[in-house]
Chains A and B, each alone.
Chain A
Amino acid sequence: MAEYKVLVVDDEAGIRMGTRRILQNFKVDYPFMDEHIEFVILEAGTGEDAIEIIDRDMPDIILLDNKLPGIQGIEVLEYVKKKLYDIVVVMITSYASLELAVKATRDGAYDFIPKPFTPQELRSSLENITKQLFLKRMTQKMNKEGKQIRFQFLSVLSHELKAPLNAIEGYLKIMDERQFGDNIHAYQEMINRSLDRITGMRSLIMDLLDLTKIESGSPVQNFQPTDITAIARLSLDTMRPYAIQKDVDIYLNTKESVIMEADSKEIEIILNNLISNAVKYNKQGGRVDIFIKQEKGNIKITVIDSGIGMTDEEKSRLFQDFVRIKNQKTRNITGSGLGLSILKKIVEMYHGEIEVQSVPDQGTTFTITLPQDKQ
Chain B
Amino acid sequence: MKKTILIVDDDMDYLFQMKLKVEQFGFDTITADGQKEAEMIIESVKPDLAILDLMMESDDSGFILAYRIKRKYPDVPIIIATAVTAETGMSFDTTSDESQQWIKADLFLDKGIRADQLQREINKLLKI
Alpha-carbon distance A124/B93, docked complex (angstroms): 13
Interface size class, chain B:
35 or more
Residue B44 interfacial (CB < 8 Å): no
Secondary structure call for the A interface: helix
B117 surroundings in chain A (CB, below 8 A)? none
Say yes or no: B83 contacts A171, CB within 8 Å.
no
Residue B102 interfacial (CB < 8 Å): yes
Q: How many residues of A contact B (CB 8 A)?
A: 38
Alpha-carbon distance A223/B99, docked complex (angstroms): 58
Within residues 87 to 107 of chain B, which ones have a CB less than 8 A from any CB in chain A? Answer: 87-93, 96-99, 101-104
Say yes or no: A98 contacts B98, CB within 8 Å.
no
Most central of B11, B24, B98 by chain A CB within 10 Å: B98
B83 surroundings in chain A (CB, below 8 A)? 159, 162-163
Say yes or no: B67 contacts A331, CB within 8 Å.
no
B39 surroundings in chain A (CB, below 8 A)? none
Residue B73 interfacial (CB < 8 Å): no
CB distance from A169 to the nearest CB of B (A): 9
Residue A131 interfacial (CB < 8 Å): yes
Most central of B11, B17, B104, B111 by chain A CB within 10 Å: B17
Alpha-carbon distance A187/B20, docked complex (angstroms): 13
Knowing A174-B20, A179-B20, A331-B12 are in contact, say whether A114-B98 is a contact too (CB < 8 A).
yes
Residue B57 interfacial (CB < 8 Å): yes
Fill in one digit per residue for B12-25: 1 if any A CB lies within 8 Å of its CB, else 0: 11101100100010
- The residue of chain A having its C-beta at the shortest distance from the C-beta of B57 within the complex is A326
Knowing A166-B14, A171-B17 are in contact, say whether A132-B102 is a contact too (CB < 8 A).
no
A281 surroundings in chain B (CB, below 8 A)? none
B97 surroundings in chain A (CB, below 8 A)? 94
A98 surroundings in chain B (CB, below 8 A)? 63-64, 67, 102-104
Residue A327 interfacial (CB < 8 Å): yes
Alpha-carbon distance A331/B91, docked complex (angstroms): 29
Alpha-carbon distance A125/B97, docked complex (angstroms): 19
Q: Which of A100, A162, A327 contacts B102 (CB 8 A)?
A: A100
B74 surroundings in chain A (CB, below 8 A)? none
- The residue of chain B having its C-beta at the shortest distance from the C-beta of A162 within the complex is B83
Alpha-carbon distance A369/B14, docked complex (angstroms): 41
Knowing A102-B60, A125-B91 are in contact, say whether A95-B13 is a contact too (CB < 8 A).
no
B63 surroundings in chain A (CB, below 8 A)? 98, 101-102
A155 surroundings in chain B (CB, below 8 A)? 87-88
Say yes or no: A115 contacts B98, CB within 8 Å.
yes
Say yes or no: A197 contacts B13, CB within 8 Å.
yes
CB distance from B27 to the nearest CB of A (A): 16
Say yes or no: B91 contacts A111, CB within 8 Å.
yes
Residue A294 interfacial (CB < 8 Å): no
A331 surroundings in chain B (CB, below 8 A)? 10, 12, 33
B91 surroundings in chain A (CB, below 8 A)? 111, 124-125, 128
Say yes or no: A95 contacts B99, CB within 8 Å.
yes
A132 surroundings in chain B (CB, below 8 A)? 89
Alpha-carbon distance A327/B57, docked complex (angstroms): 7
Alpha-carbon distance A98/B12, docked complex (angstroms): 28
Say yes or no: B17 contacts A174, CB within 8 Å.
yes
23 contacts between A and B (CB under 8 A): A94-B97, A95-B99, A95-B101, A97-B102, A98-B64, A98-B67, A98-B102, A105-B60, A114-B96, A115-B98, A132-B89, A162-B83, A163-B14, A167-B17, A174-B17, A179-B20, A179-B24, A193-B12, A193-B13, A193-B16, A326-B10, A326-B56, A328-B33
Interface residues of A (CB under 8 A from B): 93-98, 100-102, 105, 111-112, 114-115, 121, 124-125, 128, 131-132, 155, 158-159, 162-163, 166-167, 170-171, 174, 179, 193, 197, 326-328, 331-332
